Amino acid sequence: MIKSLLYKMKICLVQCPAFGIDAPPLGVAFLATYISKNKIETKIFDFNIDLYQKVEKHHKTLWEPSNSILWSDPEKFSEFKFISSKLLDDYSAKILQFEPEMVCFSIHSTSVLFSIKLSKLIRKKDPSIKIIFGGPQCFIKNNRNRVVKTEYDIHKYADFLIIGEGEETLLEIIKRVEEKNDLKRIPGCVYECDTSYFKYRTPIMDLDNLPIIDFSFFKLEKYTDYKHHKLRILSSRGCVSKCVFCTDTMIWMKYRTRSAKNILEEFKQRKKEGVIFLEFNDSLLNGDMNNLSKLCNLLIKDNISINWGGSARIDERLSYKFLKKMRKAGCLYLNYGIESASTKILKKMNKNITTFEAIKTVILTRLAGIKVVTNWIIGFPEETRLDFLKTLFFITFLRPFISDVSVATLFINPHSLIEKQPLRFGIVYNGCANWHTIDKKNNQDIRAKRAKIFVFFTKMLFYKAPYKTI
């Protein structure tokens, strides 16, 4: 870790639409907390929540998961009349009023087009400001012949493109800029004047070295969760699984977790701040079962009266006894990404679980007093009608044990294994959602029809069944 600096530089971090409206964006929150601890004046502009609160009611539906793909489609995005030149001018003016030397954008598939527009305007108004892009959408498609290629050519709109974890890379960029040192060959980023060079930065292995997020950068009353005294926590980075449709392993590289004692300290701090529920924003909160067990023991011992929940992986080690301890420690719900009730499809997805294991874990979790939410993916390349019917049977048979479900049609995530090796999965695609199998037995229309059947079916079973496109 780079030692604490004493620089005068001013940095602002920006979250553009579209993003979640329930809670502050944790990515920029971590970065702001980290660099501000190094004595750098920092400000966050969450234009996502600002715009959501400004638009008319009928436009607010665009922030729903089912419409998220519209934000990443240049043609559809151009039809958003509420994103006017005046709005962009106002947002750029707010940033420039802060007089930053650097403006850092958190880039997701849904925020990339808005971020490009705003960054271009800032550069036009003040070319001296350095623009930095980072986040899940920042990755190199290829670097053959020393020519960088990225989705939407995002590397062309920024001075630096940070790939992977941003804390140490951003701090090194700040240090070199402030000291007027050479900006080339910084691990973890692509520099616009040296696009032939890129080297991954070693991940931060000891997450306990990161400061606990300072949410004072945000006006928390703007977010839905905080109105219910709820906040989010990130206790780990990465995932122990390597599902072929997911990019978590690619983005975070190695799986790491904060120590149970460190997580407990955040629980204590949030309790003082009046929080009554913490939602784990981890890919899975049971990636390290021993650490999770220690955390539960500490929460029970210290009698921390904060309830919690989050995503978890189906795991045979989640015994009834273990789940009862989790419930005693305050766990109210677990969200299992089962994805399919066909063991054949689960194997193709590289889930490393079986349908029987999923059934067993769901039942034991509910019997332990923990609510169960399940996630499902419709239309994996080799999914047949029978495979789809198995999923419908699963959510019917286990209705007494499952509180709710969510469903998504398969979206080809850029940088995922299925995107890198389409022939292995027998697919052809012209876009992340617009893909089909070579035999055309699985295409966008078929997936959409199955998703509608799934939603109708689950509503008949009194599930809410929110539909997502990704």
Per-residue pLDDT band for 469 (boundaries 50, 70, 90) equals: very low
Q: What is the mean pLDDT of residues 431-459?
A: 89
Q: 3-class SS at 338?
A: strand
Whether residue 360 has pLDDT greater than 90: yes
**% of the chain with per-residue pLDDT over 90:** 75
Q: What is the mean pLDDT of residues 198-220?
A: 93
pLDDT at 249: 75
Let me know how long the chain is: 470
CATH 3.40.50.280 residue spans of the chain: 10-191
Q: What is the mean pLDDT of residues 317-346?
A: 97
More confident residue, 396 or 147: 396
For 254-266, write each residue's pLDDT tens digit. Answer: 899 999 999 999 9
Closest among 332, 349, 427, 429 to 391, alpha carbons compared: 349
> What is the DSSP secondary-structure string of 347-385?
HHTT----HHHHHHHHHHHHHTT-EEEEEEEE--TT--H
213-217, 361-365, 398-402, 432-436: segment of lowest average pLDDT: 432-436
Contacts of residue 59, Cβ cutoff 8 Å, sequence gap at least 6:
82
For 133-147, write each residue's pLDDT tens digit. Answer: 998 888 776 655 556
pLDDT at 146: 58
pLDDT at 2: 43
- Fold for the domain defined by 234-468: TIM Barrel (3.20.20)
Whether residue 59 has pLDDT greater than 90: yes
Whether residue 182 has pLDDT greater than 90: no
Q: Hey, which of 191-195, 302-306, 383-387, 441-445 has the most confident mean pLDDT? A: 383-387
Closest among 377, 391, 380 to 437, alpha carbons compared: 380
**% of the chain with per-residue pLDDT over 70:** 95
Per-residue pLDDT band for 4 (boundaries 50, 70, 90) equals: very low
CATH 3.20.20.70 residue spans of the chain: 234-468
Q: Which CATH class is domain 10-191?
A: alpha beta
pLDDT at 368: 98
The DSSP bridge partners found for residue 312 are: 336
Q: What is the mean pLDDT of residues 281-302?
A: 96
Q: What is the mean pLDDT of residues 177-181?
A: 87
pLDDT at 136: 85
pLDDT at 453: 94
Buried b (16+ CB within 10 A) or exposed e, 308-329: bbbbbbbbeebeeebbbbbbeb
Name the region of 185 (left: φ>0; alpha: ψ -120 to 50; beta: rest): left
Whether residue 366 has pLDDT greater than 80: yes
For 222-233, write each residue's pLDDT tens digit. Answer: 999 998 999 999
Average pLDDT score, the chain:
91
More confident residue, 468 or 284: 284
Whether residue 130 has pLDDT greater than 90: yes
pLDDT at 465: 60
Q: What is the mean pLDDT of residues 38-48?
A: 94
